[in-house]
Amino acid sequence: MRTPIRSIRAVGDRAVLVQLGSLSEVLGLYEALREHPLPGQVDVVAAAETVLVTAESASVARGFAARLRAIEPRTAQAAHDDLVTIDVVYDGDDLDEVGALTGLGRDGVIAAHTAQLWTAAFGGFAPGFAYLVGDDRLRVARRSSPRRAVPAGAVALADGYSAVYPRVTPGGWQLIGRTDAALWNLDRDQPALLQPGHRVQFRAVREFITVTPAVSPAVTPAANSADSSAAAAASADSAAASIVDLVVVQPGPQTTVQDLGRPGLAHLGVAGAGALDRGALRRANRLVGNPADAAVLENALGGLVLEARTEQVLAVAGAGVAISVGKTDAAARSVPTDAPFAVHAGEQLSLTAPEWGVRSYVAVRGGFDVPLVLGSRSTDSMSGIGPAPLRAGHALRVLPAAPTSVVGAAECAPAPPNDVTVLRYVPGPRDDWFSADTLGDFDRTDWRVTAQSNRIGLRLDGPALQRAQSGELPSEGTVCGAIQLPASGVPVLFLADHPVTGGYPVLGVVLHADLDRAAQLATGARIRFTAVQLDSTAPTAIHPNES
């Protein structure tokens, strides 16, 4: 007898979505893949009825289906059955609407939410976010269009689940209350307050009682086992002994520290994050002699000014910016992108607003010295993990360059994007939620990038697409490049800081090779999506759909 898999669907060219029949089957497969990962497996995300499995490459992903079908079925073993009590002030913006939708009224919703014991089934969406299973009395649909910012501590409902938002994030759930419970804390042995199998009791209160917690030593999270305590101590000693190498004079609209991200932690609700234009990051690091995963600065829309306190070698790649270097009391010199250059102590490096593109990557020989968090130095805007975005006066330190590293030669800068950027995508996993006519309209439309776009995703403007299916899709894992369709019908293209799970259907996933181009699309840029198919006999071969 094999795992009772109902279907395996492609999710872009580097992941598959496994459909099962029940939550216990989902958790059984999830536990099996956590204990015995498939060769080349990067992430595994359990959800209501599915398991998402991502691969390190397209060639690896094509072998997943056969391996998954060969796994012996098993019964999930709950890791915990502890009772967690969460105090809630029931004053959410959607409480009255939920009362009307369920027919219970405001007081009835509160009574139903507090009277039952909920069970933490699985995590996802964001670090510390747990999907809690209860009875069906509070089953309500998501909002037709997600909020851009749900407050931290918001207690919410969607489908048959309840949850608490650990921090400010976008979200489409119905808000019924708020709590001051800390759902995610990296100083705890287990950062997530709610673990699979926990029982959860909500308790109605009029106000929160502040309790001073006992002080306990910070513990390295289990998920961060790769960062040994010895390495952390050495890094701290190094930072204390080093001097300031660069100072942020102006950060521009947004500048963050980025590397290649945090793959492999999606089961904790931690997205990959990292540079949006990975090719530009790799190129900038190569030019200054760094390894590909060295930390750089990702600047959006120029305006960055850095002042050197020590002699440095830098390179800038990505958007079409002009770069000047010089002292404030002397004429500045221009330096090119995609080439290494020196900045002397007392000189300032300035980036103009880009003529094209959005994001520029500033690499320094040796790499920027910021603490590792869960194995990466990247800022994750969705989860809040990693260093905060840079601000004026921010002091930056640089790691010593490897003795054998070599500064690279100038490289050809990428060409500016066309008037309409074509992004190839693999249909699915939920393209069957839309008619053939709707999918054709999607491919024929020139979508525009809106000003509401960010590192989480590109919000697009265009004609609303109609679903062919009604009802709600159970939450399932998502990936970078997913084209998600909320009930409003206007698509969102997920980028590196996307939520780990979501409940809106994904009609397609942009090819991994095209994501760097998406990272450089500014407000007003036009996108045309082109569907391609994975060859059934050789899933890594991509062929455009015939019109």
Place of tokens 């008619």: 435
Kindly report the CATH class assigned to 83-204: mainly beta
Architecture of the structural domain at 7-69: 2-Layer Sandwich (3.30)
Cβ count near 209 (within 10 Å): 7
pLDDT of residue 474: 86
467: which 2 tokens? 């679903």
Q: Which residues contact 272 (CB under 8 A, 6 or more apart)?
A: 43, 261, 262, 263, 266, 480, 496
Measured in whole angstroms, the distance separating CA 428 from the mean position of its chain's CA atoms is: 20
Q: Smallest Cα–Cα separation from 509: which of 13, 161, 2?
A: 13
Q: Cα–Cα distance between 91 and 89 in angstroms, integer?
A: 6
- The three-class DSSP label of residue 458 is strand
Say yes or no: do domains 7-69 and 83-204 share a fold. Answer: no
Q: Please report, for the chain, how many H helices and E strands are present, in that order.
A: 9, 34
Q: Cα–Cα distance between 385 and 407 in angstroms, integer?
A: 31
What is the per-residue DSSP string for 96-113? Answer: HHHHHHHTSHHHHHHHHH
Q: Smallest Cα–Cα separation from 61: which of 85, 41, 89, 33?
A: 41
Instruction: Describe the crossing of helices 95-102 and 105-115 by its angle, rounded to 10 degrees.
Output: 90
Cis status, amide bond into 429, omega within 30 of 0:
yes
The DSSP symbol for 27 reads H
Cβ count near 143 (within 10 Å): 18
Angle at 171 between CA 169 and CA 177, to 5 degrees: 90
Per residue in 222-257, pLDDT tens?
333 334 333 444 444 444 445 899 999 999 999 999
Per residue in 409-460, pLDDT tens?
999 989 899 999 999 999 999 999 999 999 999 999 999 999 999 999 999 9
The DSSP symbol for 71 reads S
- The three-class DSSP label of residue 202 is strand
Entry pTM: 0.85
Domain range annotation of the chain: 7-69, 83-204, 234-396, 420-544
Task: Determine contact, residues 460/521, Cβ cutoff 8 Å.
Answer: no
Phi and psi angles of residue 514, each rounded to the nearest 5 degrees, phi first: -100, 0
Q: Cα–Cα distance between 518 and 139 in angstroms, integer?
A: 36
The DSSP symbol for 502 reads E
Residues 490-507 as b or e (16 or more Cβ within 10 Å = b): bbbbbbbbbbbbbbbbbb
Measured in whole angstroms, the distance separating CA 328 from the mean position of its chain's CA atoms is: 39
Right CATH for 420-544 from 3.30.565.10, 3.30.1380.10, 3.40.50.300, 2.40.100.10: 2.40.100.10
Name the stretches of the chain with pLDDT < 50: 79, 212-241, 537-547
374: which 2 tokens? 């869960």
> What are the residues facing 348 on neighbouring strands?
307, 326
